Amino acid sequence: AAEGHVGWAECVAPDDPSYSSETVDTAWHVLERFVLPDLPGLEVEAPADVMAPSHWIRGHRMARAAVEMAAWDLVARVRGEPLRHLLGADLSPVPVGISIGLQPRDDDLLRRIESALEEGYRRIKLKIRPGRDVEMLREVRRRFPRIPLMADANSAYTLDDTPRLQEMDEFGLLMVEQPLGHEDLLDHAALQALLETPICLDESIRSEADARLALALGAGQILNVKPGRVGGLGESLRLEALWRREGAGAWVGGMLETGVGRAHNVALAGLPGFDLPGDLSASRRYWARDITDPEWELEDGHIRPLDRPGIGVVPDEDRIAGLAVRQLRLPEA
C-alpha cells in the first residue's frame, strides 16, 4: 500500500506440481518466510524495485510474481493511470481465444467448438494426447475448415512420436503447443526442424534467458507468455521485446486466474509483440461469480480493457474474506 492506494495481484501456483514445481503451499511458504517480511517500509520508485530484497531467491517465480505484479498495480494507481498505459499499451480491445479440454467423443468436441465460435472466440485451442490427436483434428478440420486452430500437447509426446506429429502438418494449425517435455529444448529444436507447423513453447520458458536459448537452438517459433510463470510483468515485457525482434509470434496465456489476475493479463496483452489471440476468456467461462467488479465480459471476440487506474477492476474484499482459508497480516514498518 502507498498514499492510501492498494495494489492487487494473485499467485497462479496450482494445487499440485503437475504444471510447475511450485504449488499453493510452496508459494505460501516462500512468501511468508522469505519475501514478504522484507517489504514493510520498503521505498520504491519503480515496480521492479520491490523485487530487490528477494533477488537472491532461486526459482519460485510464481510466488515472487504475485508481489511484483501487485507493485505494478500500486504504481499505476498512485499515478492515476491504467496499468495498460504503464506497460506501454493502449486501450484497444484484445482478441481472445479459448482452450477446450479433451472430450470423450468427437461429437462432444464439435459441439463445444461450435458453441465457442458462436460466442465469438477468435482462436480455438484443443488439448491433444496420443490416441486423441490426428484423427480428432482431421474431423475438426473437416467440420471447420477455416477456423484459426491450434493444438496443445502439454508435453504428452516424445521424439519417437515425430511421425505422428508430422501428420498434423496437413491441418494448417497455427501452432502445436509444448509437444515435448518442459526441459527438452534440444529435442524441441530437433522436432521443429522436421515440422511445418510452428512449435509454441509454454512451460519450457521461465525467463528471458530460457527464451534466448530457445531462439538460438531453433526450438520453437511462437511463445506463450504467462506472467505468473515467468516471474511477473517486468520479465514478461523483456520476453515480449525479445520475441517481437526475433520470434514469429507470441500471445498471453492464462492460469485459471480470477478477475484480478485476468486484469493483469489483459493489460499485458495489448503490447504489439502479442500478435495472436490470448487465453483470456470471460469470467463466466470459469467462475459462477468472480471476485471483481466488474467481471470480465467477451464482446465480439474481444475483451475491452478498462480506462481506470491500475488494473481497472475493484476486488470484492468481503467476498474474498468469506472465501479465504488462511491469511497473513504483516506488521507495519
Give the CA count within 13 Å in the CB-facing half-sphere of 148: 15
State the residue for C-alpha cell 482452450.
99
Identify whether 125 is a catalytic site residue. no
Answer whether 233's CB lies under 8 Å from 69's CB: yes
Distance separating alpha carbons of residues 286 and 316, to the nearest angstrom = 17
Identify whether 127 is a catalytic site residue. yes
The catalytic position among 127, 182, 188, 262 is 127
The catalytic position among 61, 226, 264, 285 is 226
Q: How many CB atoms lie within 10 A of CB 195?
A: 17
Instruction: Please name which of 160, 165, 174 lies closest in space to residue 133, comparing C-alpha atoms.
Output: 165
What residue spans of 9-121 are helical by DSSP H?
Answer: 24-30, 61-79, 83-87, 106-119
CA distances from 108 to 100, 111, 131, 135 (A): 11, 5, 16, 15
Residues involved in catalysis: 127, 226
